[in-house]
Chain A
């Protein structure tokens, strides 16, 4: 039926070589059924056994009743990219059972509910039928919680099958429920029921198991939205306006909790910040720009559809030079696109968002640490450059759980940019808002409320001269645009620089950014190991580009730009910035709603070679 069944069934007859800490589990459930607790408990338990893991939730745009899948990749080598192979399928959704069985890689496992009485018609995989209903009925679980706690039965059974330590599952539940005994005990009872039933009734016929390692010591598990939110808090954010949209909403939930914890005045109980849920994204960015103008560190968080609504204000922020930060946790397509699937599809739109002749610094975090780091750095950049700064995360980073080292406290003090006070004006005897005194294109600003008769200026989208006075003179327009370009060039040196791994003798260079990093790291290893193909790698961390990237391109015969969108957007930007090198740039772009996989990358690259 499916090509994954290709290997001969006979090979299974031989005693299988154990496969330790190197496989993928997929759990198929129905959304709204509460499987998330079970799945993260599994993930965290394996993580606690010291084994590198990564988890992905593949869910529908729906609240209850549609199929959802959760994958846990267990990788002794620490690979975190998406894997196509499914070695262990936990099939808990009858509606997708037939489809789910076909996903299992030959030699894999399918664990399913025995009460379905389905035919086990693949001979190249191992089936384990689990009497979930009987087991849960035997337990003392209130009726309304049954379908929720039920999920723990497969956790327990899996623990037997792949040898996860029950203590580690206990720890994971303890963490999940914040130490509350009642839910911990109830869930743990179900885990034990599944575990013991499997101990007594299942004969292990598969090779997969976990074994303790020490590769996760001192590491944490978190989602990218929370990491970015925490970064914003340590960047001194004091004003947030937003409008709900998946997958960015979690960032606001997180920032709200962190701020309440860390930015409440201990004496009065008052907040040293404000969060406004706006009527739409257009208003959200307007509020952020109003607050940025008035001197607060202000941000919003959104996704593609919301960002497109912010377009007019983005142009104004660029032209009127107002510090502001937009986090875009990218997803697929328009509102009715694939709102719960990931992509890197907003790169071009973010870079040029506005009325035309506008461009913005854009930061691309690849992991939790960078989400945290760019969370605070974005504010420094926005105030240094007095402009709108984007941070482009995506659903994969934002909503999934990742491993990370603890985040590093900001290594530089907050940089509030060039600010002019009443005393400065008194000394100078004048204040011209758009005067480029330092030649870096950045003019100093005053904040509203500055007590000096010469401090005020009028922000406008219309043409203006150095004194911020209305002007329709061509010379003034040209001078202002030239200064804005100078400022943008200054930004090239201020944004996070690319990370370069230049391999001696490699003719091929790869350029990627953001979450495509995981795919490239593993893809390069495979190219080297399986095809003896050496590649260099440059990971972009921000736009605008600078000479580091130009040199990297110039140093290689061919440059493959790996990205998770359909149009090859970064490849376009690179060709546009470096027309003389455009001929070397090959786009490897793919977007089907899933994060990029190394297998895809290797095949796509070899096809070109």
Chain B
């Protein structure tokens, strides 16, 4: 027997969470699996990690990985504020956050941007499916122009680009990937965990249930022949997750989604893109947008930027661990303040 173990003597299974309740084939599950793999491979101490999320299918997923880490499923769009408080109160914690495109791109856009501005130490993953899945299929702010949804119709509004938003706010780490590219997701996750500030990881993560529109001429044959059943929102067909072949740097690949539509990925060529050049990063995103491609890989990184705990000039000991004697000033300190205030000597 003898299951393989990592440097802490733990098996990969020890890094799992509770069984996922997401749809089979959901991109979010693939990402959870990569988080488990990376934590195992890196030999992370789970008690050093906190898992945070907002609200959505994506935000449920922290329950499904790192079962020995404390977790906080916060409010819709408000995970950044929880992260800010928790990592300031205990600067030793490694925060891994999972959000969705609705959670980050709409209700939480303000907190997202201010978290980045403060460079809060967190791996901030956006599981981006272009849809509000948990509320059953409304458009999110990252939906593409022309995207069709069963109930919402056709989206005519231009999308918000999570990576561009992050760059504009001076993000210190911006990367994009695709849930179906486990190798790249793992690579980027490792880089993000090693980054000391906010690491924004926008991962395209197909929703097999609500991004599946019957009007698409390229939709799954299964879906087409079961159109009747698909009107019933509670009927969820089973899909296999999409996994793509390993891509070479610079390679362009069109990936067929569950609904038959295509996402065109372009893997960054590190010899052609300097990820420390912010302007170049923006240009790259803008050019890709014009060509309707998603750039994947590490888009921008700046390891020199100070994090919030650093900017707060705090003691090295986590605030949460300070002894009561440090927290409550002594009797003499109060007497001193009182003496200064008391009127008549």
Interface positions of A (Cβ within 8 A of B): 44, 47-48, 50, 216-222, 230, 233-239, 241, 258, 262-263, 265, 268-276, 278-280, 282-298, 312-313, 316, 376, 406-407, 409-410, 413-414, 416, 446-453, 455-462, 469-470
Chain A residues, CB < 8 A from B319? 238-239, 272-274, 291, 296
The 21 listed contacts between A and B (C-beta, < 8 Å) are: A50-B344, A217-B344, A219-B343, A221-B341, A236-B324, A236-B327, A270-B316, A271-B315, A274-B89, A278-B81, A279-B114, A283-B80, A290-B72, A298-B85, A313-B78, A316-B74, A407-B334, A414-B328, A450-B70, A455-B70, A470-B18
Chain B residues, CB < 8 A from A236? 324, 327-328
Chain A residues, CB < 8 A from B72? 290, 293, 458-460
For B14, give the chain A residue with the smallest CB separation.
A453
* 4 other A-B residue contacts (CB within 8 Å) besides A290-B85, A294-B320, A296-B319: A289-B81, A291-B89, A447-B70, A453-B46
Question: CA of A263 to CA of B48 in the docked complex: distance in angstroms?
Answer: 27
Closest 5 CB pairs between A and B? Answer: A286-B81, A290-B85, A236-B327, A295-B320, A291-B85
A456 to chain B, nearest CB (A): 5
Contact A272 B322 (CB under 8 A): yes
Contact A297 B327 (CB under 8 A): yes
Contact A270 B315 (CB under 8 A): yes
A2 to chain B, nearest CB (A): 37
Contact B48 A238 (CB under 8 A): no
Among the listed A216, A239, A284, A376, which residue makes an inter-chain contact with B89, where contact means beta carbons less than 8 Å apart? Answer: A239
Chain A residues, CB < 8 A from B90? 294-296, 447-449
Question: CA of A274 to CA of B315 in the docked complex: distance in angstroms?
Answer: 10
B110 located at the interface, meaning its Cβ lies under 8 Å from any Cβ of chain A in the complex? yes
Task: Given A234-B334, A270-B313, answer yes or no on A312-B75 (Cβ-Cβ < 8 Å).
Answer: yes
Contact A449 B47 (CB under 8 A): yes
Contact B70 A271 (CB under 8 A): no
Task: Given A50-B344, A220-B338, answer yes or no on A238-B85 (Cβ-Cβ < 8 Å).
Answer: no
Question: CA of A451 to CA of B86 in the docked complex: distance in angstroms?
Answer: 17
Question: CA of A456 to CA of B63 in the docked complex: distance in angstroms?
Answer: 11
Task: Given A293-B82, A458-B73, answer yes or no on A235-B89 (Cβ-Cβ < 8 Å).
Answer: no
Task: Given A48-B344, A413-B324, answer yes or no on A294-B315 (Cβ-Cβ < 8 Å).
Answer: no
Question: CA of A294 to CA of B47 in the docked complex: distance in angstroms?
Answer: 12
For B316, give the chain A residue with the smallest CB separation.
A270
Question: CA of A410 to CA of B328 in the docked complex: distance in angstroms?
Answer: 10
Among the listed B46, B69, B84, B328, which residue makes an inter-chain contact with A290, where contact means beta carbons less than 8 Å apart? Answer: B84
For A284, give the chain B residue with the smallest CB separation.
B81
Chain A residues, CB < 8 A from B68? 453, 455-456
For A312, give the chain B residue with the smallest CB separation.
B75
Chain A residues, CB < 8 A from B327? 236-238, 272, 297, 414
Interface flags for B45-83 (1: CB within 8 Å of A; 0: not) read 111101100000000001100011111111100101111
B2 located at the interface, meaning its Cβ lies under 8 Å from any Cβ of chain A in the complex? no
For A258, give the chain B residue with the smallest CB separation.
B337
A433 to chain B, nearest CB (A): 10
Contact A294 B337 (CB under 8 A): no
Question: CA of A288 to CA of B319 in the docked complex: distance in angstroms?
Answer: 13
Question: CA of A263 to CA of B330 in the docked complex: distance in angstroms?
Answer: 11
Contact B50 A448 (CB under 8 A): yes
Contact B69 A456 (CB under 8 A): yes
Contact A448 B93 (CB under 8 A): yes
Question: CA of A275 to CA of B88 in the docked complex: distance in angstroms?
Answer: 10
B312 located at the interface, meaning its Cβ lies under 8 Å from any Cβ of chain A in the complex? yes
B286 to chain A, nearest CB (A): 27
Chain A residues, CB < 8 A from B316? 270
Interface flags for B315-345 (1: CB within 8 Å of A; 0: not) read 1101111101011110101100110011110
Name the residue in A217, A446, A453, A456 with the highest tally of chain B Cβ atoms < 10 Å from its Cβ. A456
Name the residue in B18, B51, B324 with the highest tally of chain A Cβ atoms < 10 Å from its Cβ. B324
Chain A residues, CB < 8 A from B87? 290, 294
For B117, give the chain A residue with the smallest CB separation.
A279
Task: Given A279-B114, A286-B75, A290-B86, answer yes or no on A270-B314 (Cβ-Cβ < 8 Å).
Answer: yes
Chain A residues, CB < 8 A from B82? 286-287, 289-290, 293
Question: CA of A276 to CA of B63 in the docked complex: distance in angstroms?
Answer: 29
Question: CA of A297 to CA of B338 in the docked complex: distance in angstroms?
Answer: 24
Name the residue in B75, B324, B344 with the highest tally of chain A Cβ atoms < 10 Å from its Cβ. B344
Among the listed B48, B51, B62, B314, which residue makes an inter-chain contact with A449, where contact means beta carbons less than 8 Å apart? Answer: B48
B106 to chain A, nearest CB (A): 15
For A295, give the chain B residue with the smallest CB separation.
B320
Question: CA of A48 to CA of B344 in the docked complex: distance in angstroms?
Answer: 6
B92 located at the interface, meaning its Cβ lies under 8 Å from any Cβ of chain A in the complex? yes
Contact B86 A291 (CB under 8 A): yes
Contact A461 B75 (CB under 8 A): yes
Contact A220 B324 (CB under 8 A): no
Chain A residues, CB < 8 A from B334? 230, 234, 407, 409
Chain A residues, CB < 8 A from B337? 230, 258
Chain A residues, CB < 8 A from B51? 458
Chain A residues, CB < 8 A from B253? none
Contact B89 A294 (CB under 8 A): yes
B261 located at the interface, meaning its Cβ lies under 8 Å from any Cβ of chain A in the complex? no
For B91, give the chain A residue with the smallest CB separation.
A274
Chain B residues, CB < 8 A from A455? 47, 68, 70
Chain B residues, CB < 8 A from A216? 343-344
Among the listed B118, B324, B341, which residue makes an inter-chain contact with A222, where contact means beta carbons less than 8 Å apart? Answer: B341
Contact B328 A234 (CB under 8 A): yes
For A462, give the chain B residue with the smallest CB separation.
B73
For B83, give the chain A residue with the smallest CB separation.
A290
Chain A residues, CB < 8 A from B276? none
B330 to chain A, nearest CB (A): 9
Among the listed A258, A285, A289, A448, which residue makes an inter-chain contact with B70, where contact means beta carbons less than 8 Å apart? Answer: A448
Question: CA of A376 to CA of B327 in the docked complex: distance in angstroms?
Answer: 11
Chain B residues, CB < 8 A from A50? 344
Chain A residues, CB < 8 A from B13? none
A561 to chain B, nearest CB (A): 34
Among the listed B308, B328, B343, which residue makes an inter-chain contact with A221, where contact means beta carbons less than 8 Å apart? Answer: B343
Chain B residues, CB < 8 A from A263? 326, 329
Question: CA of A492 to CA of B69 in the docked complex: distance in angstroms?
Answer: 34
Question: CA of A21 to CA of B141 in the docked complex: distance in angstroms?
Answer: 68
Question: CA of A258 to CA of B333 in the docked complex: distance in angstroms?
Answer: 10
Question: CA of A442 to CA of B49 in the docked complex: distance in angstroms?
Answer: 26
Task: Given A263-B329, A265-B315, A290-B72, answer yes or no on A279-B110 (Cβ-Cβ < 8 Å).
Answer: yes
B123 to chain A, nearest CB (A): 16
Task: Given A273-B319, A293-B82, A296-B319, answer yes or no on A407-B338 (Cβ-Cβ < 8 Å).
Answer: yes
Contact A448 B86 (CB under 8 A): yes
Interface flags for B28-41 (1: CB within 8 Å of A; 0: not) read 00000000000000
Question: CA of A316 to CA of B67 in the docked complex: distance in angstroms?
Answer: 22
B219 located at the interface, meaning its Cβ lies under 8 Å from any Cβ of chain A in the complex? no
B293 located at the interface, meaning its Cβ lies under 8 Å from any Cβ of chain A in the complex? no
Chain B residues, CB < 8 A from A451? 45, 47
Contact A313 B75 (CB under 8 A): yes
Name the residue in A50, A217, A458 with the highest tally of chain B Cβ atoms < 10 Å from its Cβ. A458
Contact A283 B47 (CB under 8 A): no
Among the listed A47, A268, A409, A456, which residue makes an inter-chain contact with B343, where contact means beta carbons less than 8 Å apart? Answer: A47
Contact A456 B83 (CB under 8 A): no
A164 to chain B, nearest CB (A): 15
Question: CA of A313 to CA of B78 in the docked complex: distance in angstroms?
Answer: 9
Task: Given A313-B78, A407-B334, A409-B334, answer yes or no on A294-B86 (Cβ-Cβ < 8 Å).
Answer: yes
Chain B residues, CB < 8 A from A458? 51, 62-63, 70-73
Contact B343 A459 (CB under 8 A): no
Question: CA of A562 to CA of B90 in the docked complex: distance in angstroms?
Answer: 44
Contact A291 B344 (CB under 8 A): no
Question: CA of A221 to CA of B81 in the docked complex: distance in angstroms?
Answer: 37
Chain B residues, CB < 8 A from A258? 337
Contact B110 A218 (CB under 8 A): no
For A236, give the chain B residue with the smallest CB separation.
B327
Question: CA of A272 to CA of B51 in the docked complex: distance in angstroms?
Answer: 25
B55 to chain A, nearest CB (A): 8
B111 located at the interface, meaning its Cβ lies under 8 Å from any Cβ of chain A in the complex? yes
